[in-house]
Amino acid sequence: MGFPKDFMWGGATAANQCEGGILEGGRGAANVDVCPAGEDRNAVITGHLKMLEMDDVHSYPAAEAIDLYHHFKEDIRLFGEMGFRVYRLSIAWTRIFPKGDEEEPNEEGLGFYEEIFKECQKYQIQPLVTISHFDCPIWLIQKYGGWRSRGLIDFYLHLCEVLFTRFREYVTYWLTFNEINMILHAPFMGAGIYFEEGDNEEQIKYQAAHHELIASALATRMAHEINPENKIGCMFAAGSAYPYTCKPEDVWEALLTDQENYFFVDVQARGYYPSYAVKRLRKKGIFPLIEDGDAEILKKYPVDFISFSYYNSRCIAAPGGGQDEAEGNLFKSAKNPYLKFSEWGWPIDPLGLRITLNHVYDRYQKPLFIVENGLGAADVPDENGYVEDDYRVEYLDAHIRAMMAAVEEDGVELIGYTSWAPVDLISAGTGEMKKRYGFIYVDKQDDGSGTLARTKKKSFYWYQRVIATNGEYLKEDKNNEEF
């Protein structure tokens, strides 16, 4: 019983939310760099406000972020102190290929990530690398239209070839695309797509997704050819959809929501477009153009494991129900009256994680990996600079217990858990620093002020004990526990 001895505990970050240094090391400009803070951010990330360069009007959180570019040794040392067995990070595409379509990679960028991997090795931390965590070079957006163009497949595969070859001795766990289903909700941030007047937006999004699905399958083939030890995973934003009531119309809408959420993973894990998607996309006239040989590629090269983010479940009502709305990782849904909510209005549903784990495992029967789960909160340090984040401990304790039950009682095959995020970083959805997730506090504020100093929160020591005991600590009587 319990987690396997080799269970991979750790934390997850994304280059565009923590790295900074966007003008250093030969790096080029990317879509994630020009997503501003403030009221225009949502219009940009959804592709409805064209922004392909920085101006003097907006602030751009990714420019410095938390400056992991210069602090990675300190941060990885702290991850090692917590006992991490795995660190999920992403590659900034434009740090390797500044424009995206060069023949030769940027050696300085490759050297930067090699230093990160060497630092991980020092603390016996295994990297889990996301190849594309929403990064798309601005040049490829200007010249080709981002992932709406099939031409990006070759550029992406060139990036993969360089990464798989150069980092063969450091990395064997890879994710092809982060939260691939986000392309439907944030197409500029997810795939470098902005829309012009008259565009068929839904058709463009599904066509771009098809290109990413082909790229993912071909990357899986390449990874296995270059190193048979490589394990390739897909990644999606998960969270089971509950019907708002037992009214059949609500149940039906919840089923449709789940199918939309699982659609891309159905393709990546099973190797073909599910019949429900084919029927509905054809009926709407938005079925993507599929070239000869595409079906065979998808069929022959499914992923090895399924990874996902889980922040909340969703509550779905039939149209016209008039229910209050709730937020949640760029997804809106009806407000579940049985749940508590975070400061940002996200439902808090630990049991929902167990339900989601069962749904995903029942559907695919492949190993699972939870690669994002955490609580965003406005942490306030005390006079000594210490954050008593008991609310975060409570949130994570409940979710890991639910995860443990799915493994011990339900038989779900789970290989790891990386919390989002081990260190405070900027929010993808809002661009804020105020919305903090980390076990490590970073002294930086929304206005850009701060020293960038790192400080351990109370949750740091709690997670350290969870890892050290492989989760068994959660079964002990912890009343009045001091860390």
pLDDT digits (tens, 9 = 90+) for 135-179: 999 999 999 999 999 999 999 999 999 999 999 999 999 999 999
Residue 2 lies in a domain: no
The pTM score is 0.95
Q: Residue 483 pLDDT > 80, yes or no? A: no
Q: Residue 333 pLDDT > 60, yes or no? A: yes
The count of domains in the chain is 1
What's the domain range around 309? Answer: 8-474
Q: Residue 480 pLDDT > 60, yes or no? A: no
User: 3-class DSSP state for residue 471?
Assistant: coil
The pLDDT value recorded for residue 1 is: 65
User: What is the mean pLDDT of the segment spanning 15-24?
Assistant: 97
Residue 479 lies in a domain: no
How high is the mean pLDDT of the chain? 95
The pLDDT value recorded for residue 324 is: 63
Distance CA 421, CA 226 (A): 31
Q: Tell me, what CATH number does 308's domain have? A: 3.20.20.80
Q: List C-alpha distances in Å: 115 to 73, 118, 228.
A: 9, 5, 24
Per-residue pLDDT tens over the stretch 338-364 = 999 999 999 999 999 999 999 999 999
326/298: higher pLDDT: 298
| pLDDT-derived band at 18, boundaries 50, 70, 90 | very high
**Residue keyed to tokens 């912890």:** 478
Residue 481 lies in a domain: no
The pLDDT value recorded for residue 476 is: 78
Q: What percent of the chain has pLDDT over 90?
A: 93
User: 3-class DSSP state for residue 339?
Assistant: coil
Distance CA 175, CA 128 (A): 8
Residue 37 lies in a domain: yes
SS (H, E, C) 44-107: HHCCCCCCCCCCCCCCCHHHCCCCHHHHHHHHHHHHHHHCCCEEEEECCHHHHCCCCCCCCCCH
Per-residue pLDDT tens over the stretch 31-43 = 999 999 999 999 9
Residue 1 lies in a domain: no
Residue 480 lies in a domain: no
User: 3-class DSSP state for residue 169?
Assistant: coil
Active site residue 372: yes
The single residue of 249, 372, 388, 413 carrying the catalytic annotation is: 372
Per-residue pLDDT tens over the stretch 377-416 = 999 999 988 999 999 999 999 999 999 999 999 999 999 9
The pLDDT value recorded for residue 326 is: 62
The pLDDT value recorded for residue 475 is: 80
Residue 482 lies in a domain: no
User: What is the mean pLDDT of the segment spanning 51-60?
Assistant: 94
